[in-house]
């Protein structure tokens, strides 16, 4: 399933995400040489419609022209089939950011993911960046696989906001034991600012001194990192109808729901309107371990309200994303960041 290359294939620099399958017909790991041998690892298109990583890489590589890279670069190109269709993943495919389990691989996709990690481990990467877009309106932020200072230092190069996600089989967490590792949430698909900031981060990592992430290096650059931790993932009960545009449905989300992202919401804040006497709980909250969490919402008439203060993130009004993944997350501040 995985192909490896030691050069950029012809056509890579000009291809859109939808056309990339003509250049790379399968998930690919591309190793480009550079002056510093420890490579920067960049993962793009784990979600097929999120093209920020491709655009950012094209921009960085174009700006260097034919000059040698200051550091080796290994690029993992993920779900080219979904990219061709312009979707996060095809029906019947796994989510490419959930195949990076530390358990022994079982499926073909998990074997591919394990091979990528093993190959990169041999190359002792300098840092790992996994580039994503959001399906909702959010500020740019990183996802941290842990609070180790090296991950925080890498995150601070991208944004003052970070979300701690420790217990998912994501690419970011698979690389965390190997090198500084973050996932970058680069705003909505098509966001020019997202592409610009992702490209700036790649460029910074390519040019960085080998000691950048070591203790005492670069501390405090740009102020402290503000770290949040998601404690609940929100799902809409599958059996219920759902709308985001004010049309009649069992569960009605406000068209403005994305404006709640990264805001402090008090207890009692409305999250959705719901029909009376629904057969199941309309909005279900799960811990990141998958266990149900009860009592996060309370119903008041036709309104579903937050039962406790929380900060929302990644709330989206994209119905397909809600059905395939989730409505969004609730999070709390992590009180004592390490650095
Ligand atoms: Zn994504």
CB 204 within 8 A of CB 244: no
* Residue 49 alpha carbon to ligand 1 centre in Å: 8
Q: How confident is the model at residue 165 (pLDDT cuts 50, 70, 90)?
A: confident
In this prediction, residue 244 carries a pLDDT of 93
In this structure, what are the phi and psi dihedrals at residue 82, rounded to the nearest 5 degrees?
-70, -35
CB 42 within 8 A of CB 171: no
* Residue 225 alpha carbon to ligand 1 centre in Å: 22
The model carries a pTM of: 0.86
Does the pLDDT of residue 337 top 60, yes or no?
no
In this prediction, residue 216 carries a pLDDT of 65
In this prediction, residue 33 carries a pLDDT of 97
Q: How confident is the model at residue 266 (pLDDT cuts 50, 70, 90)?
A: very high
The token pair that represents 316 in the structure block: 């989206």
* Residue 67 alpha carbon to ligand 1 centre in Å: 31
3 state SS of 158: coil
In this prediction, residue 336 carries a pLDDT of 61
Q: How confident is the model at residue 168 (pLDDT cuts 50, 70, 90)?
A: confident
CB 168 within 8 A of CB 289: no
| Chain centroid, CA 292 distance in Å | 23
In this prediction, residue 223 carries a pLDDT of 75
Close Cβ partners of 241 (under 8 Å, ≥ 6 residues apart)? 249, 250, 251
Q: Determine the Cα–Cα distance for residues 142 and 227; give it in Å rounded to an integer.
A: 9
Mean pLDDT, range 119-139, rounded to an integer: 94
Does the pLDDT of residue 218 top 60, yes or no?
no
In this prediction, residue 190 carries a pLDDT of 95
In this prediction, residue 81 carries a pLDDT of 98
* Residue 188 alpha carbon to ligand 1 centre in Å: 10
103 vs 221 pLDDT, higher one: 103
* Residue 284 alpha carbon to ligand 1 centre in Å: 22
Mean pLDDT, range 240-258, rounded to an integer: 93
In tens, the pLDDT along 308-330 reads: 999 999 899 989 889 988 999 99
* Residue 197 alpha carbon to ligand 1 centre in Å: 16
Does the pLDDT of residue 242 top 70, yes or no?
yes
Does the pLDDT of residue 163 top 70, yes or no?
yes
* Residue 132 alpha carbon to ligand 1 centre in Å: 4
* Residue 48 alpha carbon to ligand 1 centre in Å: 8
Q: Are strands 34-44 and 270-274 parallel, antiparallel or unpaired?
A: unpaired
Q: How confident is the model at residue 338 (pLDDT cuts 50, 70, 90)?
A: low
* Residue 133 alpha carbon to ligand 1 centre in Å: 6
Does the pLDDT of residue 222 top 80, yes or no?
no
Q: What are the extents of the domains in the chain?
A: 3-224, 230-333
Q: Please give the class, per CATH, of domain 3-224.
A: alpha beta
The token pair that represents 332 in the structure block: 């709390």
pLDDT exceeding 90 applies to what percent of the chain?
A: 83
* Residue 94 alpha carbon to ligand 1 centre in Å: 13
């Amino acid at each position: 399933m995985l192909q490896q290359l030691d050069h950029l294939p012809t056509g890579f620099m000009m291809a859109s995400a939808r056309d990339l399958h003509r250049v790379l017909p399968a998930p690919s790991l591309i190793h480009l040489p550079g002056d510093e041998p420890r490579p920067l690892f960049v993962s793009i298109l784990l979600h097929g419609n999120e093209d920020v990583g491709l655009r950012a890489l094209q921009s960085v590589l174009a700006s260097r022209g034919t000059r040698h890279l200051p550091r080796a670069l290994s690029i993992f190109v993920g779900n080219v089939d979904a990219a061709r269709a312009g979707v996060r993943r095809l029906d019947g495919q796994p989510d490419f950011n959930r195949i990076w389990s530390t358990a022994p691989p079982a499926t073909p996709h998990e074997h591919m993911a394990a091979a990528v990690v093993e190959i990169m481990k041999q190359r002792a990467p300098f840092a790992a960046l996994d580039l994503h877009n959001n399906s909702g309106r959010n500020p740019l932020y990183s996802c941290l696989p842990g609070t180790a200072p090296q991950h925080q230092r890498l995150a601070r190069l991208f944004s003052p906001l970070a979300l701690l996600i420790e217990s998912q089989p994501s690419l970011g967490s698979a690389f965390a034991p190997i090198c500084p590792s973050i996932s970058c949430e680069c705003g909505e698909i098509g966001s020019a600012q997202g592409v610009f900031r992702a490209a700036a981060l790649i460029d910074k990592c390519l040019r960085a001194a080998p000691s950048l992430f070591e203790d005492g290096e670069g501390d405090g650059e740009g102020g402290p990192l503000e770290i949040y931790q998601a404690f609940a993932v929100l799902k809409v009960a599958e059996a219920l109808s759902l709308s985001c545009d004010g049309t009649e449905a069992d569960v009605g989300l406000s068209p403005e729901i994305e404006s709640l992202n990264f805001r402090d919401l008090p207890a009692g804040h409305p999250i959705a309107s719901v029909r009376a006497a629904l057969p199941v709980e309309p909005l279900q909250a799960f811990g990141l371990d998958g266990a149900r969490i009860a009592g996060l919402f309370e119903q008041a008439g036709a309104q579903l309200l937050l039962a406790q203060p929380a900060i929302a993130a990644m709330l989206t009004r994209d119905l397909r994303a809600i059905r395939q993944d989730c409505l969004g997350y609730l999070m709390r501040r992590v009180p004592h960041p390490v650095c």
